[in-house]
Amino acid sequence: MAAKKKRRIAILTGGGDCPGLNAVIRAVQRTAQNVYGWELWGVRNGVEGFLMPRGEGLVRLDRPAVAGILTQGGTILGASNRCDIFAVPRNRGGPKDESPRVLKLLKQKGIDVLITVGGDGTHRMAQRFVEMGIKVVGVPKTIDNDIRGTDRSFGFDTAVGTVGEAIHRLYSTAESHHRVMLVEVMGRHSGFIALHGGLGTGAEVILIPEIPYDPDRIAEKVRARREHGLNYSIVVVAEGARRPKGEMVYRTGDGSSEHTDRLGGVSYRVAEELSRRIKLEVRNIVLGHTQRGGTPSPFDRILASLYGRHAVQLIHEGKFGQMVNVRGTKLGSISIKTAASGVNKIPPRGDRVRAAREMGISFAAADGSDDPYAKARKKHGAP
């Protein structure tokens, strides 16, 4: 009987960096080598590695190459969230589709499967690779926890921990100086970091993209606390928070390009709106990329390792065009096409929002939905 062909697989880490990426790379390499005897190659700097001359963007990842990287933040391969391989800018003329170079380089290196580790943008590109005939397996990665089709993406737990520690440190100075502290966190279209970070620290107000806010409602919450002798408040603001029918706030660009435009600064707008309504001093802090960095939490290391191992299992089973996912505690997969079709959002009337409201956290909801229990309190004689 002829021996089975020894597979060569490649892995790239697309989009922004994220705690746990190295754990995925390590798990893929070890599982591929230990169980199946396969070779692993890494693509440097996301899809930009396919554009490097003489095939220099692909590097062999043997066991020594992944030794000691489990607890390292970032990615040993590098990442890029500014390159669209199907529309690469040129000095003259319009952008050029460089995807044929991907096919050519994979063929030259004898690589027959590509693992893409990234968020919705990376997997939209991965789906186009699938349509070109490339065998692709996806792994979900984003600190925002907003990838469609999976309950959890690695990096989220670490980011929430970073946000929680920052807010915890701000409470003492807020109380000492009688200030309202606005803490801006990441979350373009989904407010998972803001919601979990606020819930985990007891923030008074949480602003998320899914619930348009009214600054008058924030002021009401701050005044109510003052009436109880609490002359300080913490407001957690997702970077995608907005007023009803309002636009998101961009530091650069206007939102027309996901590769060059950058959100940020909404907390400055909220601070201005709030300062006109209350007498307390208002300060804002933008946590920015501190949320992306550092050693991944044990939970994220474990989840990333399980994802990496399961990606190799999908390859073994011939399940291409699929992205690893988790539902509850069960690992599985969904089509990359489904994962790339949108983002997960927080249900405005879901359990987590309801729990936060029942514990007294305000979302400053412009539609008045923050107080759906007024009738129940009146019925039971509660204040």
Question: For residue 183, which of 257, 92, 88, 287 has the smallest C-alpha distance?
Answer: 287
- The pTM of this model reads 0.90
pLDDT digits (tens, 9 = 90+) for 72-91: 999 999 988 888 999 998 88
Q: Which is it for strands 113-118 and 58-60: parallel, antiparallel or unpaired? A: unpaired
Q: Among the CATH numbers 3.40.630.10, 3.40.50.450, 3.40.50.970, 1.10.490.20, which is that of 8-154+296-339? A: 3.40.50.450
pLDDT value of position 379 = 56
- The span from the CA of 237 to the CA of 206, in Å, is 6
Q: Which residues have CB under 8 Å from 294's CB, separation 6+?
A: 19, 73, 158, 162
Q: What is the mean pLDDT of residues 15-19?
A: 90
* Candidate list 17, 84, 120, 144, residue with the active-site label: 144
pLDDT digits (tens, 9 = 90+) for 215-226: 999 999 999 998
Q: What are the CA-CA distances from residue 189 to residues 7, 212, 262, 266, 334 (Å)?
A: 39, 12, 13, 13, 22
pLDDT value of position 3 = 47
What would the CATH number be for the domain defined by 157-289+347-380?
A: 3.40.50.460
pLDDT value of position 81 = 81
* Strands of 44-80, DSSP E: 58-60
| Phi, then psi, of 10 in degrees rounded to 5 | -125, 155
Same topology between domain 8-154+296-339 and domain 157-289+347-380: yes
* Strands of 244-310, DSSP E: 250-252, 262-263, 281-286
Token code pair at residue 97:
């589709």
* Strands of 135-244, DSSP E: 136-140, 179-185, 205-207, 233-238
Q: What is the mean pLDDT of residues 208-217?
A: 95
Is residue 144 annotated as part of the catalytic site, yes or no?
Answer: yes
pLDDT value of position 57 = 94
Given a contact cutoff of 8 angstroms between Cβ atoms, the answer to whether 111 and 8 are in contact is yes
pLDDT digits (tens, 9 = 90+) for 277-303: 998 889 999 998 899 989 999 999 999
Domain segments of the chain as ranges? 8-154+296-339, 157-289+347-380
pLDDT value of position 2 = 44
pLDDT grade for 258, boundaries at 50, 70 and 90? low
Please provide the average confidence, as pLDDT, over all residues in the chain. 90
